[in-house]
Structure 1
Amino acid sequence: MTCYQCQNDIINPPLDLSQSTYYPLDWSEDQPIPTVSAGQACVITVNVPTRYYANVTFYRQFPYATGSYALYSNNKVVRIENNDPNPFFFVSPQFKVNLQTVNSTAYTTKFAFKIVWTPLPTVSKRNIMIEKNSPPVAVFPSAYMTTFIGDQGTQLSLMAFSLADSANSYFLRQSAIYAGDTVDAEFIGTLDQVLTSRYPLTARGNKISVLTFDLGNYFYCPLFMSQATSDVRGYQVYLGRNCEDQGPCTVTLDGSLGNSLTVTEFDGSETIQGFRAFPESAVINVYENTVSMVTRVAQFNATNYQEQLPFKVNGFMKFYELIGTGMYDMIVTHN
């Protein structure tokens, strides 16, 4: 195939949704990745039918990092990178691909993608009630669609957990979050978007639902948690951290933007073995099961932390609250 010029194209799903769609149209994955002409700039809009999702694999070979992006229907942008064989899931109503090449023949840029049109899974629903002034409820991925429900007039927020092995983080983009209790509600994000933002995703109403497709086949650990929005205010960073069952685990307490809260969930105690560094710019409060003065079991600062270590933390959920600023790498082990 010779070089192709991209256009501001609109791709509609085929009448036969069992047939894959390719871009460019005369390419398929058994051929070399086609070369894009120099000096191109276009946006390809792909319409996704209701109750389907587009399982999209991008094929990209650029000599530079920029130039190709995907835009979800919630207006969140992700960069498309070289040598990423792992698919993206885009739900209805559409997604967009922004493609740009430099105006120089000194560079060779290759780009294509394949769409597999797939019905959203038919799953049972699991409703979880969320109350104000209560700790978050963490959930493992499963074959259910999880819907968190708050009292009327209560806004809900959703936080994501990092994976024990960050190399697997691409799996988290295979998820869908809705501001309601069905897949017909407004799509507001994916778990990888929430984790990357390090900030709670807030729905406008009192319901928020998460679809994790088949992630339950790969991970037996919490991937997300929900709490009343009024209980997450005051933190610039709020996320969960999964660790391996064996060996030391580095839990980064991120105060780069100010106060933060990091949660681990483990059915057993864990021990804080140390910190790689402890700047004087913050204090760290440790809580068991919920955040309150009654459940605070330790407070570390730059002058007293060493004399308290190692420190054992009990409870099913452990909360590490950073008040101040700075980055703190905390080493923990599971007992």
Structure 2
Amino acid sequence: MVSILFFLATLVASAFADGYTCANIMRNPTQNLSEPYYYPETWRENMEPTKYAPNQICNWQINVPEGLYATVIFYKKTDSESGIKCTYPNGEQVYIEDNDQNPYKFTYPRFQIDLQVGDKQGEFSFKVVWSEYPDGRSMYIGLDGVHSIASVPTSYYTTVTAVNQVMLVGFSVPDVPLALLRQSAIYEGGYTNGTYLGNLVNARSGQIYSTSNKLGVYTFGLEKFINQTVFMVLDSRAAGDIVQYTGTNCPTDPNKSCGIFLNSQKNVSAVATISRQPDYLTLPKGFANSITLKIYGETMEESNLFATINSNYQSMFPLRVTNSLKIYHSDTGLLTVPVAKNADAAKWNSVFDGRYIIVRSFDFNRQSYAQDTTETFVTDPNNQMYFKFNVKYLDTNGPTTLDVNVYKNGVAVFTATYTATNPPLPFPNGILGDKMEVNYQTYGNYTQGFQVDILTTKNGDASPSSQSPVSTPSTVTMSPSTLTTKIITSTKSDSPTTFPTLAPGASTTIGTGATRGTTQRYESTTKSGINKFSLTTLAIVGFVMLV
């Protein structure tokens, strides 16, 4: 009798040491949704994962009825076993990492877990919780064919409608693990029971398109962990020729670097950044002659083209890129453009021989109360340069002024104040000095801002107009001898509009309380054409401005 008991105990111990053997299982939600489903059923999350037997294949098909979603946490300790995977409702199969307990979210109608292991033993357990979608408010976004709208995580159910297809662009989250973005779902048709299209992790690899003109997004409480832009939506037509479109957030840690990475080896690519601060770009380590980098503000329209950089790149950096939405577009090759923490880190205010500087107000080409700008540029100590400038665009309203001053050895050698009654005139000559100031003040008035192009040289035979890398609607190469000034007058129809707030923590307010007034704009033109910007008021907000 003792021998039989000893044999049975040895058999049980041996079976436990070999680990569990799984079978193909189909599982429905528990009747009481507050009760999780565990595998193995005797395992709990406060235990070590359970050992599995080697050399086996099995799967779990887990159903998710309409109106529910499933939260799954995997507990995996193996020698990087690659045969343990899960499959989303859209058929995408992903590898389950060791020691990654960030939750997965699965939607209607089902998901699958696969285990296919070799002769090495490991540990694997998981927990499934089915939940009803919580009651919540809905947010509806209507897209035109031009503008983009960005969002931070919210508790809203977001439905996006486009003229054509909806394109969703995912953003990096450098301050938190990327795995947190699994707590999101993107649906066809704008409803949680619509076809699952992917999540924000998928969107980091490439944009997600709706098959119709509607798309829905839900982020499952992600707002508790992330307060950065996580996605941007636009009509597919607004992307132009872009094939690969992603978004970048820079780390908040000042000790971590940031850059705009564009991989256009196979297709045209673009990267978007969104903030109420300028991007200060510094000289890339490598810039192939075949690359053309185009930078846009707010939209991909030619009127919003900030700069075109190619073989002129040595003179273009550092660069201060304005507007809330900055779009970096590359047609070929690989390019990484460093983004500095601030103006000082970029040496933005230091000039050198042959440097081309674009000075713009932040909300350029958009009615805004936030256009005031002050910039100072200085030479190296004991050096002097010719400062040549062109007032490319100037919008004055009320008492708005643009001051341009050049100093030499502390003494002003050139000073000008441009207003509605004193417009800028052609100034073909450079001014020798060691410091230049540009100061645009609106005194509380709304305007579409200004642009001044500056070229600094050791000699006086070059022109900022003839070397300008900026494309304008007329694309005319300007010469100081042919420059004229055109005055454009607009009234109430150009006043800023208050758009509805689209998400908590984000604002689209451009300005309120505008009264009827007259705005005068001065644009650099040539005898062969006028470089005109669109002056119509936007009918729809182009993006969410994060605050």
Do Structure 1 and Structure 2 share a fold, with TM-score over 0.5?
A: yes
* Structure 2 letter corresponding to 1:123: G
Matched, 1:117 2:130: yes
In the other structure, the counterpart of 1:159 is 169
How far apart, CA to CA, are the structure 2 residues paired with 1:108 and 1:281?
A: 52
Q: CA deviation at 1:178?
A: 1.0
Indicate if the aligned counterparts of 2:61 and 2:111 stay in contact, CA closer than 8 A: yes
Matched, 1:10 2:20: no
In the other structure, the counterpart of 1:28 is 44
Mapping of residues 224-263 of structure 1, within 5 Å: 224-232=231-239, 234-245=241-252, 247=254, 248-263=257-272
In the other structure, the counterpart of 2:202 is 193
In the other structure, the counterpart of 2:230 is 223
In the other structure, the counterpart of 1:168 is 177
* Structure 2 letter corresponding to 1:150: A
Q: Which whole-Å deviations, capped at 9, do the CAs of 1:194-246 have from their partners, x for residues lacking one?
A: 11x32x21111111111012112222221111111233353231011111356
Range 178-187 or range 204-213, more displaced? 178-187
Q: CA deviation at 1:46?
A: 0.7
In the other structure, the counterpart of 2:155 is 143
In the other structure, the counterpart of 1:76 is 92
| Superposed CA RMSD | 1.8
Matched, 1:183 2:192: yes
How far apart, CA to CA, are the structure 1 residues paired with 2:275 and 2:38?
A: 44
Q: CA deviation at 1:49?
A: 2.7
Q: CA deviation at 1:173?
A: 0.7
Indicate if the aligned counterparts of 1:236 and 1:257 stay in contact, CA closer than 8 A: no
TM-score by length of 1: 0.91
How far apart, CA to CA, are the structure 1 residues paired with 2:134 and 2:289?
A: 50
Q: CA deviation at 1:191?
A: 0.8
How far apart, CA to CA, are the structure 1 residues paired with 2:340 and 2:290?
A: 21
User: In structure 1, the residue corresponding to 2:314 is in which secondary structure?
Assistant: helix
Indicate if the aligned counterparts of 1:246 and 1:334 stay in contact, CA closer than 8 A: no
More strand by share: 1
Range 305-314 or range 222-231, more displaced? 222-231
Query: Using a 3 Å threshold, how does the CA distance of structure 1 residues 52 and 292 change in structure 2: closer, same or farther?
Result: same
> For this pair of structures, how many residues does the alignment match?
325
Q: CA deviation at 1:314?
A: 0.6
Q: CA deviation at 1:334?
A: 4.8
How far apart, CA to CA, are the structure 1 residues paired with 2:155 and 2:30?
A: 28
In the other structure, the counterpart of 1:268 is 277
In the other structure, the counterpart of 1:296 is 305
Q: Identity rate of aligned residues, in percent?
A: 29
Range 222-231 or range 307-316, more displaced? 222-231
Indicate if the aligned counterparts of 1:275 and 1:331 stay in contact, CA closer than 8 A: no
Indicate if the aligned counterparts of 2:282 and 2:337 stay in contact, CA closer than 8 A: no
Matched, 1:93 2:109: yes
Indicate if the aligned counterparts of 1:180 and 1:209 stay in contact, CA closer than 8 A: yes
| Structure 2 unaligned residues grouped into runs of 5+ | 1-15, 344-547
Task: Pick the aligned partner of 1:322 from 319, 330, 334.
Answer: 330
In the other structure, the counterpart of 1:311 is 319
User: In structure 2, the residue corresponding to 1:258 is in which secondary structure?
Assistant: coil
Range 170-179 or range 320-329, more displaced? 320-329
How far apart, CA to CA, are the structure 2 residues paired with 1:213 and 1:20?
A: 18
How far apart, CA to CA, are the structure 1 residues paired with 2:143 and 2:43?
A: 49
How far apart, CA to CA, are the structure 2 residues paired with 1:207 and 1:94?
A: 22
Q: Which whole-Å deviations, capped at 9, do the CAs of 1:71-117 have from their partners, x for residues lacking one?
A: 00011121101010211111121110111111x2xx22111101122
How far apart, CA to CA, are the structure 2 residues paired with 1:140 and 1:216?
A: 7
Q: CA deviation at 1:273?
A: 1.7
How far apart, CA to CA, are the structure 2 residues paired with 1:312 and 1:220?
A: 25
4+ runs deviating over 4 angstroms: none
Q: CA deviation at 1:293?
A: 2.1
How far apart, CA to CA, are the structure 1 residues paired with 2:285 and 2:159?
A: 39
Range 83-92 or range 311-320, more displaced? 83-92
Q: CA deviation at 1:137?
A: 1.1
Q: Which whole-Å deviations, capped at 9, do the CAs of 1:111-159 have from their partners, x for residues lacking one?
A: 1101122222221111111111x122111211211111123xx221111
How far apart, CA to CA, are the structure 2 residues paired with 1:291 and 1:332?
A: 24
TM-score by length of 2: 0.57
Indicate if the aligned counterparts of 1:159 and 1:226 stay in contact, CA closer than 8 A: yes
How far apart, CA to CA, are the structure 1 residues paired with 2:141 and 2:50?
A: 48
Q: Which has the higher contact order (CA 8 A, sep 6+)?
A: 1
User: In structure 1, the residue corresponding to 2:197 is in which secondary structure?
Assistant: strand
How far apart, CA to CA, are the structure 2 residues paired with 1:334 and 1:257?
A: 33
Range 63-72 or range 313-322, more displaced? 63-72
Range 313-322 or range 216-225, more displaced? 216-225
Indicate if the aligned counterparts of 1:70 and 1:78 stay in contact, CA closer than 8 A: yes
Query: Using a 3 Å threshold, how does the CA distance of structure 1 residues 5 and 318 change in structure 2: closer, same or farther?
Result: same
How far apart, CA to CA, are the structure 2 residues paired with 1:32 and 1:225?
A: 40
Matched, 1:331 2:339: yes
